[in-house]
Amino acid sequence: MTPRDRLRIAVQKSGRLSESSQDLLAKCGLKFRSSRDKLFCYGESMPIDLLLVRDDDIPGMIAQGVCELGFVGQNVAREQSTDALSNSRDPGFLELRELGFGHCRLSIALPQEQEFGSAKALEGKRIATSYPALLNKYLLENGVSAKTVVLSGSVEIAPKLGTADLICDLVSSGATLVANQLKEAAVILESQAVLIGSGLTYADERAELTELLLRRIDGVIRVRESKLVMLQVSRAQLPMVLKALPKADRPTIMSVEGASANGVSHDVAVQAVCHDSISWRHLEELKAAGAHNLLVLPVEKMLS
Ligand code: PRT
Ligand code: ZN
């Protein structure tokens, strides 16, 4: 392995994952100067550079040592690792973190007028997909023999064109399926963007840079899902309110000057970081449990 003192991360150049991937790196404090061809961006704030490429190329680039880390859809990562493993090859990359964006699912879909029942309904059918390895694994696991028709795009029109009976494709809102008179029958994979890496232990600066970046990514993910909740409650009702706080760290509890609204017991102020989104329903539950003066604040940075 040639020693290197800079780390390289590959992200999708343009597409559904580009903006969120670059946003995440910006939140980790990384700033880049883009080159004229816009394929290589030099890291200005840290020795970490960016490669802007097609998402399908990212796992292979990591396996070949072109870069150390990459952001891709789990669908792409799993397709390529399943293909490698079924041919007794080492995929050359590992999934390191789920990133919480780019959610979609890889599903079997069939013409709306047809019934599905179970995977057995696929016996002898022609299924169009861009994910042959994942589809074949699903068919094998369900003991079904079907023909996989591999297409690189526009999979959803295959049944209309008569080139396949059903499809296996990515779905997010489901609008594309409806527009093509198809319905979702079975989910093969729930997917989101993931950070992938070589899994190698580097003997140069890349080891420390990888660790530092992973720590910052963990911090950004935790912050994204965290809110600071502040409220007041009487001591008597405190246990019920604490129970209603969603995924809270150990709360700070302070006494409040003066008698409470009902004049009976003294109020306490509660402050807690909750690792979940706080909906109106959560606030109403807290209020019903006795909380008042509720405040929900965003958390900007977090380092535990
Ligand atoms: O050029 P490059 O190869 O880099 O891009 P690409 O065209 O292969 O990928 P892109 O940008 O379309 O998607 C990148 C990644 O986004 C995918 O690998 C998924 O991990 C994720 N993602 C999330 C999706 C969707 N949602 C999605 N809805 N990828 C594709 N779709 C397509 C789907 O194929 C279908 O055609 O959108 C259509 C369905 O959407 P709905 O909302 O109508 O259900
Ligand atoms: Zn692609």
Alpha-carbon distances, residue 80 vs 13, 42, 100, 130 (angstroms): 19, 28, 21, 11
The pLDDT of residue 18 is 96
Asked whether the predicted pLDDT for residue 107 surpasses 60, the reply is: yes
Type and span of the H or E element at 237: none
Q: In 3-state terms, the chain is what percent helix, strand and coil (to 5)?
A: 30, 35, 35
Distance set, CA 277 to CA 178, 195, 222, 273 (Å): 30, 23, 11, 11
Dist. CA 69 → ligand 1 center (Å): 21
Please tell me the distance between residue 134's alpha carbon and the centre of ligand 1 in angstroms: 16
Give the gyration radius of the chain's Cα atoms. Answer: 25
Domains of the chain, residue spans: 7-101+193-223, 104-190, 227-298
pLDDT band at 261 (very low <50, low <70, confident <90, very high): low
* One fold for 7-101+193-223 and 104-190: yes
At residue 122, the pLDDT reads 96
Give residue-wise pLDDT tens across range 140-179. 999 999 999 999 999 999 999 999 999 999 999 999 999 9
Q: What is the number of other CB atoms lying within 10 angstroms of the CB of residue 107? A: 21
Rounded to the nearest whole angstrom, what is the distance from the C-alpha of residue 170 to the centroid of ligand 1? Answer: 7
What residues have CB less than 8 Å from 173, skipping those under 6 apart? Answer: none
Instruction: Return the residue whose CA atom lies nearest to atom 5 of ligand 1.
Output: 15
pLDDT at 260 over 70: no
Superfamily (CATH H level) for 104-190:
Periplasmic binding protein-like II (3.40.190.10)
What's the CA gap between 180 and 256, in Å, rounded? Answer: 61
pTM: 0.87
Does 17 contact ligand 1 (Cβ within 6 A)? Answer: yes
Homologous superfamily of 7-101+193-223 in CATH? Periplasmic binding protein-like II (3.40.190.10)
**Whose Cα sits closest to atom 34 in ligand 1?**
170
Sheet holding 182-191, edge to edge: 147-150, 126-129, 166-171, 104-111, 182-191
How much is the pLDDT for 62? Answer: 98
pLDDT at 35: 74
Query: What does the block give as tokens for 202?
Result: 């580097």
Query: What CATH code would you report for 227-298?
Result: 3.30.70.120
Range from 17-26, 178-187, 194-203, 275-284 carrying the lowest mean pLDDT = 275-284
